[in-house]
């Protein structure tokens, strides 16, 4: 399925005293990858919300293989796992400048109607973009 890549330089505040990225920051990196993946395919979170659609994360799994360090540039590759229905699932691979895989991850998000707070089918305008 369709993939997209972004590059992020690790900031000092994202690391501990040893210069290693704190594990909690990876959720933000995944969000950045996912948001830019959607944007690359003509879908904006802002527009979805204006159309009454939320995408809360309902599942997140990360498998840490190596550490990322201060001032490194990491690549976040985001890929759609399958055609969305009520849920949309992404797989991620985060690697360093040497091409070493640092993290493999997966997230599942649910399409939710903002008024009813109930799950809904993926809107047709999103499926059309994909």
Catalytically active residues, by annotation = 16
**Do 90 and 107 meet the contact criterion of CB atoms below 8 Å apart?**
yes
Q: Which residues contact 38 (CB under 8 A, 6 or more apart)?
A: 44, 45
Kind and range of the H or E run holding 108: strand 101-110
β partners of residue 9 = 73
Q: Which residues contact 18 (CB under 8 A, 6 or more apart)?
A: none
């Amino acid at each position: 399925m369709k993939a997209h890549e972004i590059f992020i330089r690790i900031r000092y505040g994202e690391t501990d005293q040893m210069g290693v990225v704190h594990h909690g920051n990876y959720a933000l990196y995944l969000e950045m990858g996912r948001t830019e993946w959607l944007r690359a395919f003509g879908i904006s979170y802002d527009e979805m919300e204006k159309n009454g659609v939320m995408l809360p994360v309902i599942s997140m799994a990360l498998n840490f293989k190596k550490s990322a360090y201060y001032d490194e540039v990491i690549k976040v590759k985001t890929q759609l796992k399958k055609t969305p229905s009520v849920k949309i699932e992404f797989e991620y691979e985060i690697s360093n400048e040497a091409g070493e895989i640092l993290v493999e991850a997966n997230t599942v998000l649910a399409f939710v109607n903002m008024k009813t707070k109930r799950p809904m089918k993926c809107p047709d305008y999103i499926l059309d973009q994909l």
